[in-house]
Amino acid sequence: MTSISEQLSDALGIMIMGMGLVFTFLSILIVGIGIVAKLFPAPVAMPSQPVPSTSGQPALDPKLVTAITSAIHQYRAK
Protein backbone atom coordinates (compact mmCIF):
# COMPACT_ATOMS: atom_id res chain seq x y z
CA MET A 1 0.00 0.00 0.00
CA THR A 2 1.26 3.47 -0.82
CA SER A 3 1.40 6.29 1.63
CA ILE A 4 -0.90 9.28 1.54
CA SER A 5 1.95 11.57 0.45
CA GLU A 6 2.65 9.39 -2.60
CA GLN A 7 -1.04 9.36 -3.49
CA LEU A 8 -1.25 13.14 -3.14
CA SER A 9 1.82 13.66 -5.30
CA ASP A 10 0.37 11.32 -7.96
CA ALA A 11 -2.94 13.18 -7.82
CA LEU A 12 -1.15 16.52 -8.13
CA GLY A 13 0.80 15.29 -11.15
CA ILE A 14 -2.35 14.01 -12.85
CA MET A 15 -4.16 17.28 -12.10
CA ILE A 16 -1.34 19.40 -13.53
CA MET A 17 -1.10 17.18 -16.61
CA GLY A 18 -4.87 17.39 -17.19
CA MET A 19 -4.97 21.15 -16.74
CA GLY A 20 -1.99 21.51 -19.07
CA LEU A 21 -3.68 19.41 -21.74
CA VAL A 22 -6.92 21.41 -21.48
CA PHE A 23 -5.01 24.70 -21.63
CA THR A 24 -3.05 23.50 -24.67
CA PHE A 25 -6.20 22.28 -26.44
CA LEU A 26 -8.07 25.53 -25.79
CA SER A 27 -5.09 27.61 -26.91
CA ILE A 28 -4.87 25.66 -30.18
CA LEU A 29 -8.64 26.00 -30.63
CA ILE A 30 -8.52 29.79 -30.15
CA VAL A 31 -5.63 30.15 -32.60
CA GLY A 32 -7.42 27.89 -35.12
CA ILE A 33 -10.64 29.87 -34.88
CA GLY A 34 -8.67 33.09 -35.38
CA ILE A 35 -7.00 31.70 -38.50
CA VAL A 36 -10.29 30.48 -39.95
CA ALA A 37 -11.93 33.84 -39.20
CA LYS A 38 -9.18 35.63 -41.13
CA LEU A 39 -9.24 33.21 -44.07
CA PHE A 40 -13.05 33.11 -44.38
CA PRO A 41 -14.59 36.38 -43.20
CA ALA A 42 -18.29 36.34 -42.38
CA PRO A 43 -20.48 37.69 -45.16
CA VAL A 44 -21.95 41.10 -44.46
CA ALA A 45 -25.70 41.23 -44.92
CA MET A 46 -26.77 44.15 -47.02
CA PRO A 47 -29.63 46.06 -45.40
CA SER A 48 -32.81 46.16 -47.43
CA GLN A 49 -33.88 49.50 -48.78
CA PRO A 50 -36.27 51.17 -46.33
CA VAL A 51 -39.58 52.42 -47.62
CA PRO A 52 -39.44 56.21 -47.69
CA SER A 53 -42.07 57.91 -45.58
CA THR A 54 -43.52 61.36 -45.89
CA SER A 55 -43.04 62.35 -42.24
CA GLY A 56 -39.27 61.80 -42.21
CA GLN A 57 -39.54 58.82 -39.82
CA PRO A 58 -39.01 55.27 -41.06
CA ALA A 59 -42.24 53.54 -42.04
CA LEU A 60 -43.41 50.70 -39.81
CA ASP A 61 -45.18 47.57 -40.94
CA PRO A 62 -48.75 47.71 -39.58
CA LYS A 63 -48.72 43.96 -38.88
CA LEU A 64 -45.58 44.37 -36.79
CA VAL A 65 -47.13 47.23 -34.82
CA THR A 66 -50.24 45.13 -34.21
CA ALA A 67 -48.18 42.15 -33.02
CA ILE A 68 -46.12 44.29 -30.64
CA THR A 69 -49.21 46.03 -29.28
CA SER A 70 -50.91 42.69 -28.70
CA ALA A 71 -47.85 41.30 -26.91
CA ILE A 72 -47.68 44.37 -24.64
CA HIS A 73 -51.38 44.07 -23.75
CA GLN A 74 -51.00 40.35 -22.98
CA TYR A 75 -47.95 41.02 -20.81
CA ARG A 76 -49.67 43.79 -18.86
CA ALA A 77 -52.79 41.64 -18.36
CA LYS A 78 -50.79 39.11 -16.30
Residue 17 lies in a domain: yes
Give the count of domains, the chain.
1
Domain-located, residue 49 = no
pLDDT at position 59, please?
74
Could you tell me if residue 72 is inside a domain?
Answer: yes
CA 49 to chain centroid, in Å, comes to: 29
Is 71 among the domain residues? yes
The length of the chain is 78
State the pTM of this model.
Answer: 0.51
Q: Where are the alpha helices (DSSP H) in the chain?
A: 4-39, 62-77
For residue 15, the enclosing domain spans 4-42+54-77
Higher pLDDT: 49 or 78? It is 78
Judge whether 26 lies within some domain: yes
CA 61 – CA 59 distance, rounded (Å): 7
Residue 48 forms part of a structural domain = no
23 and 15 in contact (C-beta within 8 Å)?
A: no
Instruction: Convert the pLDDT of each residue in 20-69 to its tens digit.
Output: 999 999 999 999 999 999 999 888 777 676 555 566 666 788 899 999 99
